[in-house]
Every structure is written in structure tokens, then in C-alpha cells.
Structure 1
Amino acid sequence: MGLLAVLGFGLLLAGCTHVRNGPVSQHYRDFQTREPHFNTVYVCHSYGCRMQTPFRFTDDDIQQLKIVMDKTRKADTPAEERRAIAYAIGWMETRTGEVIGTKADRPGMDFLASGDPTQQDCVDESTNTTSYLLVLERNGFLRHHTVGTPFAKENYLRGVSGWTHWTAVIKENGNGQKWAVDSWIYANGENPAIVEAEKWYIASLDQLPAATH
């Protein structure tokens, strides 16, 4: 193999997208955590799903989520459903955070926080967001989207700012467009950013998209 080919191959490996087309359950197996059981989720925290704490959304919680989504949605369109999803995920993060202690979770990456039960990395966040999305889906709150399998991107040419980053995913039913649902960027309880998967994390970790409102 020539030098240019080797360099080209190295550049290709340096900037990768880890797309997984299998079932959502594969993500839970990969990180050795549990899928939601009815309205009970197993909240990942302490980085890398090191800790997993069960939390059950009550019937009142589910009713409140419906109210949040109905009030947010201005029309029965995919775009408005994504706005409603963002507010619902923020509400669910707040609800679980108050009980588990992750309400103290700081935005982004804190290299000293690994092992801290109040903190969450992108594996925790993408897994939890996927679990919350599955609760919404199973309660019939998603009409225009289906919950997808989380995926990751990385670009080691950017150094630390290009490290592997995971996100939850929804797929638009009408056209198959995949959307990243990224809760890691912001503090606990803030709306996640929901952007087209191909436009997500194309720069560095400090240039991720704004929250969806």
C-alpha cells in the first residue's frame, strides 16, 4: 500500500461515525444495562452506566407528560412533535434527577466526575434519553417518529474536542430522516438539542447545537 493510501486510510479512521442499524435492545446489551420495563426506566449515571438506578414514572407522571407535549405542540407535524419531545425529555430528566440525585449533573464533560453518582457522561445521557423516548413511544405519544438506536461520532484529529460522543436517535416516519437527540450538552432538566443526524457533531464538542425550544 502506498504512502498516500496509508495516510488516507488513517484519516478515514480518525473521523468515524458508528452507525448501528440493529434493534435498540442492542445498545442496552452493549453497555450492559436494562431496557425500560413498562414505565420503569433504569437511569444510568456515574459515567458509562456504571450505576443504574430504577425509577418508575407514575400514572400521574405519564398524564403530566401528555399535558407537556400537548401544550408544546402547535400543530400535528413532525417538527412540532420534535419540539414537544424536547420539552418532555427535559421534564423527565428533572423528574428523575430530583429522586436519584442527578439534578446536580453539570453540562458536558468533566474529567474529574467519573464515578460521581450525581454526574452523567454521553453514554449515560444517550442511554437515558433513549429510555425516556421509549416510554413516550409506548404510551402512544409519538405519532411522527420512531425511537432509533443510539450512535456515535468521533474525530481524533481534533484531539480531546473530537472524542467519541454518543447520542439518542429518533427516526421520522414519513421520510426516514434520522434526528440526534442530545441531552449531554446541557445541565440536567434542560431541553436536549434535536438536529439532523448528519449535521450533529460535525465540529468540536464545544460547538454542539443549541437546545430545541
Structure 2
Amino acid sequence: MFSPLSPTAIMAVAALLIVTACASQSTSEATGWFGTHDGVPPKANKVYICHGFGCVYKTPVEYSRQDLARLRVILVSGRASPSAERQAIAHAVAWQERRVAVTVGSEEDVGGFDIENAGVSGQMDCIDESTNTTSLLLVTQKHKMLRHHDVSAPVARGFFLDGRYPHATATVTEKKTGTVYAVDSWVNANGKRPDIMPIDHWLAEGDRWFLST
């Protein structure tokens, strides 16, 4: 007869399952992400905000004309250059997190590795964050709010053996250079601007927590 797992062992297994999900990302087109990660792609001006880790919960939020006008103002501020547009994208992502927080219950969503909140409505892992940011970016692209970038598929890094936990991020691709940029909203708390950097820099990052524990 098998002995019951201790709470510590259960937590370790849960952590492995959840963060391993972030390692199995596809490099298919951005819209293909939703079908393989239990998300729902945007429909017209409605986004389906993932939360609870791994898109356990999906809460629809429809953007009004006022919302779209606000997004346009934010993104127009970055029209001067690709760099300026990336800063505007960061502003837009933070705006979305604040905009949906009351509906979703994500006002207190914490940033970074937070396994104790797995399954908690309103808390988000990297799958939720990548999906939500990609949804926002697709809406802005549909409304031609982006001048210098195209929305591209989320990307993943880390596989334990290299000392990093698996993690995923949304991305955009600069039209002029073809450079892919991470738009990583998982690392910071709700409503804070995401980290944006070239994907090769992002892929090289990662805490060495696994080798030191």
C-alpha cells in the first residue's frame, strides 16, 4: 500500500506540473496559442482573461468605445519609433491589467513564482499572463494601433536541467528589423508595466533557484 504524500510532496508535485506547462510552448502563430493552452482568442472587442493558473478560469471582458479610444491614445504616443512603441505597449499592458482587475478579481495578483496561489481565482501564472497579453496585442493589431510591430507567438525558456524553471512570455516582432521582443507581464504585480527586451536577452535570463535549493 502506498503511503499518502506529505503536504510538502504534494506542493512539489503541483509546482512541477504547473511550471512544466510553461515549458511546452509552441512557436506557432499567436492565434494558435489559445487552442493549445485552454485559452479563448479575442472575439471582436471581447477578451477572455485567463486566471487561476493555466487558464483554469476565463472571464470575458468587452472593451467599450471609450476603452478602445484610451488604448489608441496610449499606443499613438509611441508612433515615433519602434522603441517608443514598445514603451507604449508596456503602458497598454499595465492599463489592461488595471482595467480588468475589478471584473476578474485580480487586483492583488502578485508577480513572479507564486506556487502557493495555484488555482486561486484572480492569481495568474505565466500561461495566464502570456495569454492575456497576447489577447490585448491581437485586439490592438486588429484596430491598426500598432505601427512598428506585429504580434507574434509566445515563447518559453527553462527546463530545470539548466537550473531555471520553465517560463513563457508574450512577444511582438519589430517590422523593420525582424527582432522579436519579449513582453513579460508575469514578473511584476497587477497593473505594473511588463519587462520588454529582445528575446535572446530574455531567453538568457532566469533565476538559478533550482541549482541552489
TM-score by length of 1: 0.82
Compute the displacement of 1:19 (Å): 7.0
Match of 2:43 among 37, 44, 47: 37
Distance of 2:148 and 2:38 partners within structure 1: 30
Match of 2:75 among 69, 83, 92: 69
- 1:84 corresponding residue in structure 2: 88
State how many pairs are aligned.
187
| Identity among equivalent pairs (%) | 35
Deviation digits for residues 78-98 of structure 1 (CA, Å, limit 9, x no counterpart):
111101110011001110112
Residue 109 of structure 2 contacts residue 190 of structure 2 at CA under 8 Å; is this kept in 1? Answer: yes
Deviation digits for residues 87-142 of structure 1 (CA, Å, limit 9, x no counterpart):
01100111011221111101112111011002000000001000011111111110
- 1:200 corresponding residue in structure 2: 202
| Structure 2 counterpart SS, 1:79 | helix
Q: How does 1:33-182 map to 2 (within 5 A)?
A: 33-71=39-77, 73=78, 76-157=80-161, 159=163, 162-182=164-184
TM-score by length of 2: 0.82
- 2:193 corresponding residue in structure 1: 191
Residue 38 of structure 2 contacts residue 54 of structure 2 at CA under 8 Å; is this kept in 1? Answer: no
Cα RMSD (Å):
1.9
| Structure 1 counterpart SS, 2:204 | coil
Distance of 1:80 and 1:182 partners within structure 2: 17
Residue 18 of structure 1 contacts residue 151 of structure 1 at CA under 8 Å; is this kept in 2? Answer: no
CA 1:27–1:97 in 2, change beyond 3 Å: closer, same or farther? same
Q: Which amino acid aligns with 2:131?
A: T
Unaligned runs of 5+ in 1: 1-16, 208-213
| Structure 2 counterpart SS, 1:184 | coil
Residue 41 of structure 1 contacts residue 56 of structure 1 at CA under 8 Å; is this kept in 2? Answer: yes
Q: Which amino acid aligns with 1:100?
A: V
| Structure 2 counterpart SS, 1:169 | strand
Distance of 2:142 and 2:136 partners within structure 1: 10
Unaligned runs of 5+ in 2: 1-22
Q: Which amino acid aligns with 1:148?
A: S
Compute the displacement of 1:40 (Å): 0.4
Residue 27 of structure 2 contacts residue 154 of structure 2 at CA under 8 Å; is this kept in 1? Answer: no
Residue 123 of structure 1 contacts residue 166 of structure 1 at CA under 8 Å; is this kept in 2? Answer: yes
